[in-house]
Amino acid sequence: DADVTQTPRNRITKTGKRIMLECSQTKGHDRMYWYRQDPGLGLRLIYYSFDVKDINKGEISDGYSVSRQAQAKFSLSLESAIPNQTALYFCATSDAVNTEAFFGQGTRLTVV
């Protein structure tokens, strides 16, 4: 099983719909992140969380919200999806001891 699991892997949704992307990890890491990747662009940070009670906005948080339900679970929500939120979304984890970040396999979201 993957260390960082994202669901769904692919999703097509309509403009105005609410959608949730889920991320779970088995690494035991306290830090979790949501990124977005658009063609020709790098990864941009949406939100990050250092523990269940710590949620922080990243570079491009407008239009998104998150929930850290447990140490192992970090969900990203689009309250009212719009076409320019069509992108590849990645969840990642890290901790204070292990210096590398672990990424999920990504969720390809299309908003029509």
Partner 1 sequence: DAKTTQPPSMDCAEGRAANLPCNHSTISGNEYVYWYRQIHSQGPQYIIHGLKNNETNEMASLIITEDRKSSTLILPHATLRDTAVYYCIVRDLNSGGYQKVTFGTGTKLQVIP
Which positions lie near partner 1, rule CB under 8 A? Answer: 4, 31, 33, 35, 40-43, 45, 48, 50, 56, 58, 88, 90, 92, 94, 96, 99-106, 108
Residue 7: name the closest of 79, 86, 104, 80 by CA.
104
Output the DSSP codes for 50-92.
Answer: EETTEEEE-TT-TT-EEEEEETTEEEEEESS--GGG-EEEEEE
* Choice between 84 and 99, CB closer to partner 1: 99
CB of 104 to partner 1, least distance (A): 5
Pick the closer one to partner 1 by CB: 41 or 70. 41
